[in-house]
Structure 1
Amino acid sequence: MDSNVPGLSHVILQKLNMKTYEDYKSAMDGRKSGSDFGIRTYFDMFQKMEDTFKFCAECKKLPDALPDPKSLRRCKRCQNVYYCSVACQRANWPLHKKFCKKLKLVALDRLVEWLVFTGDIPFPTETWTKPAQDVKTWEDWFAMQGQLEEKLGAILAGRYMTLLWANAGKPRPEDGELRESIRRLVTDFHSRPLTIGLGLRLFGINPLAKTLTVHVVGASHVETLNTRLTDYDELTRMFPGHRGMELVMVGVDVVNGPIMRPPLATLAPQGRVHLSSYKGLYHDFWESHVETKLATRPDLVVGFHPGFHACPDLLAGWLPTLLLLRDYRLPVLFTVYSEQELKSSLQILVELEMHIMGYATNPFASLRPEQVYSSPNKAPVYCSSYYIALLGLAASAVPGAEELEEDDGWQGGEPSAAGVAGGNTPGLG
């Protein structure tokens, strides 16, 4: 349980009798029938996925450790956590009541996320009617979406939404709750392209002036499972008239699919976002493709939740890439889930003498709450909650970096087109 991560975890795959994310994608695409994995019906699939979260939130016992595995009962309020007895539920309530309402959203979004794989989410979006620098929040973005309520209504009335609640084993929520869930999942889907767009603005990189290449370093199933060639077209709507962009997903856990094609050796087509990928380590990709001109040098490198703060082994794996990014003075934008992760990551980057240009809350963080830990009774996290902007080698120690270890809070602010707001960091040119 401790290895659970946001998104489709290996634990869920095991419950579905699937070995890889490609198996899951094949089942969703209809290339393999569910019976290939022991799944006979939609109800069976949803129940197997729900089994991942079945353990007593108080004593941590799994169903197999109980005299009657069916004795686990779900909290009626949140429909998310389980208890093996009334005694455990009562003992856990003082802690659970702090998170019960939020965990209800976690459980709902976990089911509605299926509509991302069926193609119902996201809905078709519009070309931005405001300059990118004037779109500062998700509400600004939603305000530009014409006929929004009609689009949400079509998803609510769709075939797959009906199938979902006929088979989920839970009562269908009110339409208002489902609309809000769809909105949260739409922000989760578009958070990555909008964060890339934010990174371009923060570094003063103008998509209208030149053809751009963006490398997504450390890409995994989170960025590439079920990814379609059009999934980052929101960048075209964000920067209408751009000269062309290529996004190259680079990582050892890149999932096979439509974007598994070689990076371009020439510039991307004008006015289009071209997706490609490389399955392997970034420093290997740099040596085999960038240095040999089989791929173009990036204008921006983005890492969504690199996770090098988590343990020494992960940091050791990331070290060659971090040093490459530093020594080649590449503009880099990393995102993290939480404030604590931000502090830990900043400390590592300071020790590596990387020039921290700024760090702040991300206005385009996902609004979808996610349960991460084996204990559900902790505050949910949100994808790309904070960002860190880096550029090359630090000329000198970053002022105030030593405060990160002791200060419970940190100084950051709203990003702007002119620079990254950070209490102890300069703006970007």
Structure 2
Amino acid sequence: MAGGRRRGGGGRRGGPRQHPGTPGPASSPASLSPAATTAQPNAGAAPKTCRSKKAPEEPAARAPDVDSLGFQAMDRNVPGLSHVILQKLNMKSYEDYKSAMDGRKSGSDFGIRTYFDMFQKMEDTFKFCVECKKLPDALPDPKSLRRCKRCQNVYYCGVACQRANWPMHKKFCKKLKLVALDRLVEWLIFTGDIPFPTDTWTKAARDVKGWEDWFSMQEQLEEKLGAIVAGRYMTLLWANAGKPRPEDSELRESIRRLVTDFHSRPLTIGLGLRLFGIDPLTRPLTVHVVGASHVETLNTRLTDYDELTRMFPGHQGMEMVMVGVDVVDGPIMRPPLTTLAPRGSVYLSSYKGLYHDFWESHVETKLAARPDLVVGFHPGFHACPDLLAGWLPTLLLLRDYRLPVLFTVYSEQELKASLQILVELETHIVGYASNPFASLRPEQVYSSPNKPPVYCSSHYIALLGAEALPGAEELEDDDGWQGGEPSAAAVAGGIAPGLG
């Protein structure tokens, strides 16, 4: 299913989402205000291509509305919080929010006129007592909420609640400080300051084991970080954020985390190609990103996956097709190629609809290429029966057509739950492991922050066909790789040791 999304990973334009019953981050109006109101990135030029056939009109697909479920989950934790979010974004209903996430509202519609306005409205949506869950309007003095001085993230209605909450909060205070900082510095993605320009990899992809190796290849790294720290938009940010400006060293580390967040998706795709032995240097490739939503497509630039060209210099051409019911209109909203992807380029296209509908209307009719790899970032089919039911046609299609598939999840808990479902569907799980290109940006549960943070695409699962299919090739043993097929009992009993 193309729309069975929960939330997405690295470099998010739309912000991650909170799902009912699932630990993880949740959407924030920061997702909308910086992205949609003040700084639209410049789109790269589209390569000239030939299309011999006209795609049929795309159906209006329906799927479980995971944003709506996320709003309900927030209100269960903090009653009335979803109303605060809508109010701060100058919206009257969830339908207005959905319209904004679909790209149908302009920046002026949010009622934000200044930078200070933008950052203040964003901060206001985090103002609730983390202990008693009361919002400002429920207090005798709405201005009595006080922020934790250490993390600058959570709020308390008084000393009694702060003292009662401290035994729990002290476990996460340091991480929540990073979360609050990254939440603000993320704005520089939309201004174009982040990520900094990168160069062709000086090491073969197989020799780059993770972010430490990746950063070691970046020439003049400290100069690039310093230029962002000293830049105009960083200055504007801290002049309007309503918080003290951190030390430059803290800002540099925040930029590094956000750079990994931005590049996590393309590098995870590159990892998937390598794990399945798919060589971009020998032939043009097509990758389908299934379950794509506003997380992958809101304000996405045509150049956002160009790190794959630097990862595989001299490649024969790659097309990334974003497929999902929540794909946002923008530069990448263009039909898939009917010809080969341009040599040496990464071409982004999209389809707004369910994946099995896309398969029937485009792949089977040759209006789009059959994928060499299918990737799903945080599909979330483990989270509730409605989402699993929505994903089921796609999961069975991927299994029965024996397509190489890579799914990512936020945590070992999600990994365990997802493996259980995939085992029950008799898919051939060829391996699962910690992702060396997981985002290093910690994410909090929006309405319940005193929980362990999670990281986008922290683990991956690789699938190939059906469980009983003879001759299914195993992937090569790699760092942290858990090869073979876990039994249902093994999955239910816990994750195999050695992950991470």
Relative to 1, partners in 2 of residues 1:418 and 1:202: Cα closer, same or farther, differing over 3 Å?
farther
- Supply the distance in 1 between the matched residues of 2:405 and 2:347 (Cα, whole angstroms): 20
Could you say what secondary structure the match of 1:333 adopts? strand
Q: Hey, what's the Cα distance between the residues in 2 that align with 1:414 and 1:182?
A: 38
Distance 1:227 1:154 in 2: 24
Q: Which shifted more, 382-391 or 65-74? A: 65-74
Task: State the distance in 2 between where 1:77 and 1:418 align.
Answer: 44
1:423 and 1:206, CA in 2 relative to 1: closer, same or farther beyond 3 A? farther
Q: Which residue of 2 aligns with 1:318?
A: 391
Q: Does the CA contact (< 8 Å) of 2:475 and 2:483 recur in 1?
A: no
- Structure 1 Cα separation of the partners of residues 298 and 183 of structure 2: 16
Superimposed CA distance per residue, residues 128-175 of structure 1 (whole angstroms, 9 cap, x where no aligned partner): 000000000101000000011111111111111111000000000000
What do the CA deviations read for 1:187-216 (whole angstroms, capped 9, x no partner)? 000000000000000000000011000000
Between the aligned residues of both structures, percent identity stands at 91
Q: 1:32 to 1:220 in 2, by over 3 A?
A: closer
- Whether contact under 8 Å (1:305, 1:335) holds in the other structure is yes
8 Å CA contact retained: 1:326, 1:354: yes
- Bigger CA drift: 194-203 or 417-426? 417-426
Which whole-Å deviations, capped at 9, do the CAs of 1:317-361 have from their partners, x for residues lacking one? 000000000000000000000110000000000000000000000
Residue 375 of structure 1 deviates from its aligned partner by: 1.2
Q: Is the contact between residue 276 and residue 475 of structure 2 (CA under 8 Å) also seen in structure 1?
A: no
Q: How far apart are the structure 2 equivalents of 1:144 and 1:421?
A: 41
Out of 416, 429, 434, the position equivalent to 1:343 is 416
Q: CA deviation at 1:255?
A: 1.1
Deviation of 1:80 after TM superposition, in Å, equals: 0.2
How far apart, in 2, do the equivalents of 1:246 and 1:380 lie?
33
Q: Is the 8 A contact 1:366 1:382 kept in 2?
A: yes
Q: 1:171 to 1:59 in 2, by over 3 A?
A: same
Report how far residue 36 of structure 1 moved: 3.5
Deviation larger for 319-328 or 418-427: 418-427
**Conservation of the 8 A alpha-carbon contact between 1:337 and 1:383:** yes
Provide the secondary structure at the position in 1 that maps to 2:75.
Answer: coil
1:217 and 1:282 in contact (8 A); partners too: yes
Query: 1:418 offset after TM fit, Å?
Result: 27
The more displaced of 416-425 and 105-114 is: 416-425
Alignment pair present for 1:398 and 2:476: no
The answer as to whether partners of 1:366 and 1:383 remain within 8 angstroms in 2 is: yes
TM-score between the two structures when normalised by the length of structure 1 = 0.88
> For residue 80 of structure 2, what is the aligned residue in structure 1?
7
Q: Relative to structure 2, which stretch is displaced further, 412-421 or 87-96?
A: 412-421
Shift of 1:15: 2.5
1:298 aligns to 2:367 (yes or no): no
Matches within 5 A, 1:331-370: 331-370=404-443
How far apart are 1:40 and its partner, in Å?
A: 2.1
- Residue 24 of structure 1 deviates from its aligned partner by 9.9
Give the structure, 1 or 2, with the largest relative contact order (CA under 8 Å, sep 6 or more): 2
Change (3 A) 1:342 1:35: same
User: Is the CA contact 1:204–1:428 (under 8 Å) kept in the aligned structure 2?
Assistant: no
> Do the aligned partners of 1:21 and 1:221 also contact (CA within 8 Å) in 2?
no
Provide closer, same or farther for how the CA distance between residues 137 and 277 of structure 1 changes in structure 2, counting only shifts above 3 A: same
Deviates more, 1:217-226 or 1:330-339: 217-226
Partners of 2:117 and 2:472 in 1: CA distance:
51
Asked if structure 1 preserves the Cα contact closer than 8 Å seen for 2:464 and 2:472, the reply is no
Distance in structure 1 (CA, Å) of the matches to 2:88 and 2:282: 49
Question: How big is the shift at 1:415?
Answer: 17
Tell me the distance in 1 between the aligned counterparts of 2:328 and 2:425: 31
Tell which deviates more after alignment, 108-117 or 402-411: 402-411
Offset at 1:428?
17
Q: 1:104 to 1:424 in 2, by over 3 A?
A: closer
Native 8 Å contact 2:101 2:328 kept in 1: no
Instruction: Name the SS of the counterpart of 2:460 in structure 1.
Output: strand
Over aligned residues, Cα RMSD in angstroms?
Answer: 5.9
Structure 2 CA distance for partners of 1:57 and 1:238, relative to 1, 3 Å: same
Moved over 3 A (4+): 2-14, 18-36, 395-429
Tell me the secondary structure at the aligned position of residue 474 of structure 2: helix
Separation of aligned partners in 1, 2:129 and 2:461: 37
The structural deviation recorded for 1:64 is: 1.6
- Report the CA distance shift for 1:26/1:354 in structure 2 as closer, same or farther (over 3 A): closer
Contact 1:361/1:414 (<8 A) preserved: no
Deviates more, 1:61-70 or 1:147-156: 61-70
CA 1:378–1:343 in structure 2 vs 1: closer, same or farther (change >3 Å)? same
Alpha-carbon spacing, 1:327–1:258, altered in 2? closer, same or farther (3 Å): same
Q: Secondary structure at the match of 2:486?
A: coil
* Counterpart position of 1:285: 358
Which whole-Å CA distance do the structure 1 matches of 2:284 and 2:472 have between them? 36
Does the CA-based 8 Å contact 2:410-2:454 persist in structure 1? yes
Q: Does structure 2 conserve the Cα–Cα contact (< 8 Å) formed by 1:250 and 1:282?
A: yes
> Are residue 261 (structure 1) and residue 334 (structure 2) matched?
yes
Other structure's SS at 1:262 match: coil
Q: TM-score, structure 2 length as denominator?
A: 0.76
Change (3 A) 1:330 1:27: closer
Aligned residues between the structures: 427
Moved more, 232-241 or 48-57: 48-57
Secondary structure of 2:488's aligned partner = coil
Structure 1 unaligned blocks of 5 or more? none
Gap change, CA 1:206 and 1:401, over 3 Å in 2? closer
**SS of match in other structure, 1:115:** helix
- Structure 1 residue 372: deviation in Å? 2.1
Native 8 Å contact 1:333 1:388 kept in 2: yes
1:21 and 1:255 in contact (8 A); partners too: no
